[in-house]
Each structure stands twice: as C-alpha cells, then as structure tokens.
Amino acid sequence: MTWAQSSTPQNKPDDSNVVKQQPKGMTVDEIIRRFAAREKEFKEARENYTFRQDVKVQTIDGRTVTGEYREVVDVTFDERQRRREEVVFAPQSTLREISMTTEDYEDLRHRYPFVLTTDELADYQILYIGTERVDEVDTYVFDVAPKAKTFTKGQRFFQGRIWVDDRDFQIVKTHGKPVGYATKSGDQEQQFPAFVTYREQIDGKYWFPTYSRADEVLHFPPTKNTPGSDVHIRIIVKYTDYKQFGSKTRILYGDEELKKDQPPKK
C-alpha cells in the first residue's frame, strides 16, 4: 500500500495503566519461553480451524467514505483435507487515493494476527515493560522489534507491543505495525499504519484473533511527480465463526446462516 509516513502520537501504546514492576514467581526469560511455547501450540491449533476473515480498507473525508477495498475469505479444507482460502465476496475496489500492494495483502494475513513462537524468538528483541489489566485479564506487557536493521526481499516483521495473559501465557492483544522489506510504488516509499488486534478465547483453550483495526490520518510528502496530501485511512479486519475441522460447521454472518454464493451484508 502506498502509505506516507505518519507520526500521530495516539498510535503509540498508552503507558498510564502499566505497573512497572518485575514479575512474581518466575523470571522474565521464563515467561518469554513459556508464552512462546504456548504460541506455537496456538499456531498449530489454528491451522486445524476453519474461519472467516473479513477485510475492509477505507479512505475517509470527514464522515464520508471516499473509497473502499473489501474482501471476505473463508479459510476451509478441501476433500483431501488440504487447507484452502475461498474468496466469497470481493466487489471491485473503489480506492483512489491509495493503492494496495503485495506487502499489504501479506500483512493483513500474517502480521495483523501476529504470533510469536519459539521459532521466531531469535528474530526479535523483546523488552519486558511491566503488568497491566486488560478487559478483566491480567497481563505481562512486552515491547518487541525485529533484530534486523536491514531486510531482504520477502522479510516482514511486527514491531510494537504485546500483552500476554499471565495464566494462559498467550498473547491477548497486539498494538504495532508491520515493518521490513517493501517495494517502492512509483517514487513513494511504502509506510504502514499502526493497528490493534484483539484476541478472544475459543473453545475454552486458545486465544484466537477476532478483531483488528487501524485508523490514521497519513501525511504524504510531495515528490518529484506527486503533490503532498493528507489521507484518512481506516482498516478493519474481523475473524469470525471459528470451527475446529471435522466438527459440524455452519458459516454464520451475524446471526444469519450464509447460503452458498450469497455475499455478506455490510
């Protein structure tokens, strides 16, 4: 996505509710190892679930939506039990002020539902911040950033803050942005907005992502070929109808069962 650099302060995590204290009963390294192991379990478990991912990217002027990209995908399994993604709703994009890129599609699928497992620990710097209560859940708070300072083609990472449940040792919230290698779009460098992702407990065991949101006014500096401009961007991603593969599955949108080839209501 051709994004301009944004420095809006509201996209930084709020530290006002963070208690700056060391964890009790275990070391920071033990907490990191434990939640990374649980995240690996969660990642493998999610591979055995079907679900719906509904992506909406909008440009906004005041209260008016001036352009929209929309895609609804059902993540399912075929008759050979191979995982597949089926696009069930994808109207023509009306975005004019920004453009979607390969990095955007990859980030929406992999960075917004961020997972930090034992396999990725070596790629990240992890800093313990303290503890915080988030929606009735007591959490450990960490700031994470990729160790790499330069990136090769295809390398994408998450940079920001994660909140880890102090009982289940799983990430329950993330706030940050995608970073890493990005191609140029014309003479514009790609930049990416900060987002927040919330997870909910599914089947009483794992915390699965259910909602992501980004909302920024981005400032496009003038270039040799384009004038500068400010563009208000909103991104909403919903993950719904998680069902473990093999169970009786109905695809729901809201409270209504969705018939085959029927688009979801807006």
pLDDT, greater one: 177 or 189: 177
Distance from C-alpha of 3 to C-alpha of 59, rounded to nearest angstrom? 12
Each residue of 189-202: b (16+ CB within 10 Å) or e? ebbbbbbbbbbeeb
Question: Which backbone phi and psi does 229 adopt, to 5 degrees?
Answer: -160, 160
End-to-end C-alpha distance for the chain, whole angstroms: 23
Q: Is residue 44 part of a domain?
A: yes
Rounded to an integer, the average pLDDT of 193-206 is: 95
Rounded to an integer, the average pLDDT of 15-26 is: 94
pLDDT at 190: 74
205-222: pLDDT as tens digits? 999 999 999 999 887 778
Q: Is residue 159 part of a domain?
A: yes
Q: Is residue 59 part of a domain?
A: yes
pLDDT over 60 (residue 122): yes
pLDDT over 90 (residue 121): yes
pLDDT at 251: 36
Of 257, 246, 204, nearest to 52 (Cα)? Answer: 257
99-109: pLDDT as tens digits? 898 999 999 98
Distance from C-alpha of 220 to C-alpha of 69, rounded to nearest angstrom? 20
pLDDT at 257: 46
pLDDT at 144: 98
Read out DSSP for 63-101? Answer: TEEEEEEEEEEEEEE-TT--EEEEEEE-PPP---SS---
Read out DSSP for 192-222? Answer: ---EEEEEEEETTTEEEEEEEEEEEEEEE--
Helix/strand/coil (H/E/C) assignment for every residue in 235-263: EEEEEEEEEEECECCCCEECCEECCCCCC
| Start-end of H helices in the chain | 28-46, 102-110
Distance from C-alpha of 126 to C-alpha of 13, rounded to nearest angstrom? 16
pLDDT, greater one: 1 or 17: 17
Rounded to an integer, the average pLDDT of 12-25 is: 92
Q: Is residue 213 part of a domain?
A: yes
CA-based Rg of the chain, rounded to a whole angstrom? 19
145-162: pLDDT as tens digits? 999 888 888 899 999 999
64-73: pLDDT as tens digits? 999 999 999 9
How buried is 117 (Cβ within 10 angstroms: 0-12 exposed, 13-18 middle, 19+ buried)? middle
Confidence of residue 224 (pLDDT cuts 50, 70, 90): confident
Q: Is residue 263 part of a domain?
A: no
Dig out the tokens for 160 from the structure.
């920001």
pLDDT over 80 (residue 111): yes
For residue 172, CA distances in Å to 93, 156, 229 come to 32, 21, 36
Domain holding 222, by residue range, is 17-257
Distance from C-alpha of 76 to C-alpha of 213, rounded to nearest angstrom? 24
Q: Is residue 12 part of a domain?
A: no
Distance from C-alpha of 195 to C-alpha of 230, rounded to nearest angstrom? 19
Say if residues 52 and 74 touch (Cβ distance below 8 Å). Answer: yes
Distance from C-alpha of 110 to C-alpha of 103, rounded to nearest angstrom? 10
Confidence of residue 247 (pLDDT cuts 50, 70, 90): low
pLDDT, greater one: 54 or 79: 54
pLDDT over 70 (residue 82): yes
Chain-wide mean pLDDT for the chain?
87
Q: Is residue 71 part of a domain?
A: yes
> How many domains, the chain?
1
Q: Residue length, the chain?
A: 266
Q: Is residue 8 part of a domain?
A: no
Q: How many CB atoms neighbour CB 249 within 10 A?
A: 15
